[in-house]
Amino acid sequence: MDIAVINLMRLGDLVQTTPVLRCLRTQYPGGRVTLVAKDLFQETARLLPWLDRVVLFPSITLATRLGQEEGWPEAVQALREWLRETFPHPPDLVINLTPNLLGGILAYATGAREIRGMAVDQTWELGTRPAWASYALIVSKARQANPFNLVDLFLREAGLAPDGRGVEVTVPREAEVEADNLIKNLGLPANTALIGLFPGASRPERCWPADRFAQTAHLLLERRPCHFLIFGSGRAAPLGEAISRQVPVSAASYFFGRTTPAGLAACLKRLDLLITNDTGPMHLAAAVGTRTVALFLASARVQDTGPTGRGHVILEPRLDCHPCLFPCPQPRCHQVITPEAVVHWAALLLDKGNLKPVDEVEVHRLIRAYVSTIDPLGYHAYLPLVRRPLSCRDFWLWMHRRLWGQILDGSTFSSATLTDWLNDVLGSYYLPPLDDPGFATGELGFLHLCQIASRGEQLAEEIMQWASKCQQFPVRVWQKMEALGAVDQDLRRIGVSFPELSALMEFFFQEQRAKHGGEITPLAQELQMAYALLRHSGELALERLANLKMILNPPGRSGEYMEMAQTMQPLFAKKGALSRESEELSCR
């Protein structure tokens, strides 16, 4: 089995690929696994385990030639030669984890017998397979609905099941020795805590201010002996210099632009804690077993790219505008997360304290704090460390977590196992909701969805019936197809009117993009199945809502919630054996 994994992204994304490589090795023990990565990140790529071969995509060469006048022909020729040398024979399987057109073209150009992820076809239409790849694409546009970490999405796009083991890298022996010597030469007392600071990020708005890092260092020094290793790339050196000027010289060492990926991994492995923004080194620290306090600012969102594994703490601002959609000229979130809040959780990790939810106090008032964990199905999850009443935002995150697994995996999804775990989470990490967290909105939206999808299902069936008489009654077929277009417009309006349902609408339309052209009858049959799936998904969502109402039965509102739950039972009885039907339902 010849397998190629394409990931043309950055340091953190490459590290997040390692669970895919590990699970491929388990599922195809005799297979040959190749990673295709950008030449800019070749040092990182060589840290990844479970590989037989690393192939470097010539991005530097192509960029140089494309930058020249009339350089396109040379660039195309260079790419053709690279493909011929890299894949003299088509791979059996290509897994494209690069969510852009370049990755899709490259996956198709390999000539692989099977492609998972995003790829173009013979008509240059961009498609996604399996269904999880469609989901990963649409939640990049509807992020608030996504409860799954990128690591788990990579695995599901690849057709693999999460194993709950997180990310990993292999640190070369020479880098380990160099890091040991570096720490030894610092001459620190045995009880000194080694703390890494990484103030840089991929974008300036995601950077916590340098003076706040410095204040955090001072507060930690007041609590215990510490030494700070300040890391970063050369371009972010001003941030490191700003911190160094405010921290005692004897308490900090400066490593901006002075470490290779292997050297950085070795240094991170020796830390007691890393305090960082949402960065590639955050994932590298998780890969070598170092706990982090991660600060998620601006557009960074913990559910998407939080550190993997158990026991990391993530802080984000408790603001309605977070995560932001556009760069903010004066980010409020930079000031909302205080050094005192960071020190509270950093000290707990350094003391190896118990990360259990606490009641809200002033230091936590404007932040959300999470602890990373693994759910019973092997997916990563982030549980609140400050107990508050269940909000509409969190309600829908857990609702989507229960719903999408069933929609995408059907009978292979262990709903009962997840339900028991979620019952415990909602009882231990949240206070009862003060108001309806989303039941009324959800019921109304999903009921509308079921009605409109049923109409689409009926119209598609009628088109099939009239298609056999198309030559006699072409107008009838045209009228039914026009009506079907109106159904799609109604579905789009649902996505706008009920934002909580927008991901489900986008998923439906993403799946339909592959259904174009061909004979009317088979196309109508595919559309009928698609509308049926959408209707079943809406019915399943209503069932999940009813179940959550039974779970969330807070004092003083039990009558109302029980009444709302009971109103859904006739719907399920009318539909028949919905549970058995939905257990056999999946997108593929």
User: Digits of tens for pLDDT over the chain (588 positions)?
Assistant: 999 999 999 999 999 999 999 999 999 999 999 999 999 999 999 999 999 999 999 998 888 888 877 778 888 898 999 999 999 999 999 999 999 989 999 999 999 999 999 998 887 888 888 999 999 988 877 778 899 999 999 999 999 999 999 999 999 999 999 999 999 999 999 999 999 999 999 888 999 999 999 999 999 999 999 999 999 988 888 999 999 999 999 999 999 887 899 999 999 999 999 999 999 999 999 999 999 999 999 999 999 999 999 999 999 999 988 898 777 777 888 999 999 999 999 999 999 988 999 888 788 889 999 999 999 999 999 999 999 999 999 999 999 998 998 899 876 777 778 888 999 999 999 999 999 999 999 999 999 999 999 999 999 888 888 776 655 557 777 788 889 899 999 999 999 999 889 999 989 988 776 665 567 788 888 889 999 999 999 999 999 999 888 888 644 444 444 444 444 444 434 443 333 333 333 343
Say how many C-beta atoms besides its own lie within 10 A of residue 67's C-beta.
9
pLDDT of residue 252: 95
State the Cα angle at 309 between 179 and 214, rounded to 5°. Answer: 55
Strand partners for 194: 227
Tokens 């999880």: give the residue. Answer: 132
What own/partner pairs with CB < 8 Å and gap ≥ 24 does 576-582 have? 578/539, 578/540, 578/543, 579/543, 581/536, 582/406, 582/536, 582/539, 582/540, 582/543
pLDDT of residue 557: 47
pLDDT of residue 235: 85
**How far is 36 from 93, CA to CA, in rounded Å?**
13
Domains, the chain, ordered by start? 2-157 (3.40.50.2000), 173-388 (3.40.50.2000), 439-583 (no CATH)
Which token pair is 530?
A: 């698609």
**How far is 466 from 413, CA to CA, in rounded Å?**
38
Residue type, 507: F
DSSP characters over 112-154:
-SEEEEEEE-TT--EEEESHHHHHHHHHTTSGGG--S-HHHHH
Give the chain's length: 588
pLDDT of residue 473: 59
Burial track 542-563 (b if 16+ CB lie within 10 A, e otherwise): bbbbbbbbeebeeeebeeebee
DSSP characters over 346-415:
HHHHHTT-----EE--GGGTTEEEEEEEE-TTS-EEEEESEE-BPPHHHHHHHHHHHHHHHHHHGGGS-H
